């Protein structure tokens, strides 16, 4: 049985586009928000499984800059679910040595939620078992534009600007690039996620909706990753 096999290598940094909450709900005759609720509840089993596999950084795409364009009731519902999730999960995350981070913009988010995110980051900043980075109000293009703005504002010498320095102006400053990006729910697109950082990431897509993506699905993705040969533009065996 394939799941009896163990992956021979695991990504240091895994990123997941958690897609399919709405379709998961519809397939059960439930409102879309029930899908977002089930989706956020799924986060725990996946970070726990990542810790067991020895993955050191997990980035989750939770809400994009484009998602603001959805109906108001859905957007407000997602914000409420997120706030409740922080309240419910934070003590256990902290006890388990999870360091929480946020990538994206906190501006434009309601003050109450913003404060909770800041407090959660502050509380867990010295934890080092795994970094759980949540991409919320995140857009890859917005991130690049924001980086360029700050570079211009700071007056960086154009001659000094290289890829390494540019990376320090991104939300992900200090984090290594993702090695593997998983997208659930079957779409084969990037949807504005980590477009700079994913230059050499491996991609893996599964038709499984995010709320159903369990430890076994993760295991399957890691086995597939183990079989990939990353060449970074070089020749095999280099």
Residues that bind ligand IPE (CB under 6 A): 17-23, 61-64, 67, 78, 185, 187, 189, 191
For CA atoms 183, 187, 188, 194, the dihedral sign is negative
Nearest-angstrom CA–CA distance, 234 and 229: 11
Partner in contact with 117, chosen from Mg ion, ligand IPE, none, beta carbon below 5 to 8 Å by kind: none
Distances (CA, A) of 121 to 45, 118, 133, 164: 20, 5, 10, 25
14 binding partner (options ligand IPE, Mg ion, none; Cβ < 5 to 8 Å by kind): none
Closer to ligand IPE by Cβ: residue 42 or 99? 42
The catalytically annotated residue of 19, 42, 137, 179 is 19
- Distance spanning both ends of the chain, measured CA to CA: 33
The site for Mg ion, by CB under 5 A, has a size of 1
Residue with Cβ nearer ligand IPE (94 or 105)? 105
Minimum distance from residue 19 beta carbon to Mg ion (Å): 4
Active site residue 212: no
Q: Is 133 left (phi over 0), alpha (psi -120 to 50) or beta?
A: beta
- Cα separation of 185 and 18, whole Å? 8
Residue 182 interacts, among ligand IPE, Mg ion, none and using kind-specific CB cut-offs from 5 to 8 Å, with: none
Beta strands in the chain (DSSP E): 13-17, 57-64, 98-103, 130-138, 180-183, 202-205
Could you say which of Mg ion, ligand IPE, none residue 5 binds, taking C-beta under 5 to 8 angstroms by partner kind?
none
Q: Which is nearer to Mg ion, 18 or 58 (CB)?
A: 18
* Residue among 69 and 237 whose Cβ is closer to ligand IPE: 69
> Which among 21, 67, 162, 214 is annotated as catalytic?
67
- Let me know if 127 is a catalytic residue: no
Handedness of CA 155, 158, 159, 162 (dihedral sign): positive
Q: Tell me the C-alpha distance between 163 and 238, whole Å.
A: 23
Q: What is the CA radius of gyration of the chain?
A: 18
Answer with the entry of Mg ion, ligand IPE, none that 18 interacts with (C-beta below 5 to 8 A by kind): ligand IPE
Question: Which residue, among 47, 59, 50, 115, has the nearest Cα to 83 in the 3D structure?
Answer: 115
Please tell me whether residue 210 binds Mg ion under the rule CB under 5 A.
no
Residue placing its CB nearer to Mg ion in the complex, 19 or 217: 19
Rounded least distance, CB 183 to Mg ion, Å? 10
- Restricted to residues 2-61, the positions that interact with Mg ion (CB under 5 A) are 19
Cβ of residue 76: shortest distance to Mg ion, in angstroms? Answer: 18
Q: What is the DSSP letter of 177?
A: P
CA dist 13 and 204 (Å) reads: 14
What is the smallest separation between the CB atom of 10 and Mg ion, expressed in angstroms? 27
Catalytic site residues? 19, 67
Enumerate binding residues for Mg ion (CB under 5 A): 19
């Amino acid at each position: 049985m394939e799941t009896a096999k163990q992956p021979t290598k695991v990504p240091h940094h895994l990123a997941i586009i958690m897609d399919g909450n709405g379709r998961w709900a519809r397939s059960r005759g439930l409102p879309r928000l029930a899908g977002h609720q089930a989706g956020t509840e799924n986060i725990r089993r996946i970070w726990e499984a990542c810790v067991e596999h020895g993955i050191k950084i997990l980035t989750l795409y939770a809400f994009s800059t484009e998602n603001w364009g959805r109906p108001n009731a859905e957007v407000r519902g997602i914000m409420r679910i997120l706030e409740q999730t922080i309240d419910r999960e934070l003590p256990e995350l902290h006890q388990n040595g999870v360091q929480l981070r946020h990538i994206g913009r906190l501006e434009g988010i309601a003050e109450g939620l913003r404060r909770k995110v800041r407090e959660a980051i502050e509380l867990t900043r010295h934890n080092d078992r795994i970094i759980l980075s949540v991409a919320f109000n995140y857009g890859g293009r917005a991130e690049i534009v924001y980086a360029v703005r700050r570079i211009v504002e700071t007056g960086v010498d154009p001659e000094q600007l290289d890829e390494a320095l540019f990376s320090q102006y991104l939300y992900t400053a200090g984090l290594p690039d993702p090695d593997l990006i998983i997208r659930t729910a079957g779409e084969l697109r990037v949807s504005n996620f980590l477009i700079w950082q994913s230059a050499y990431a491996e991609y893996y897509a599964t038709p499984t909706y995010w709320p159903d993506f369990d430890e076994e699905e993760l295991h399957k993705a890691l086995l597939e990753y183990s079989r990939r040969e990353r060449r970074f533009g070089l020749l095999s065996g280099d």
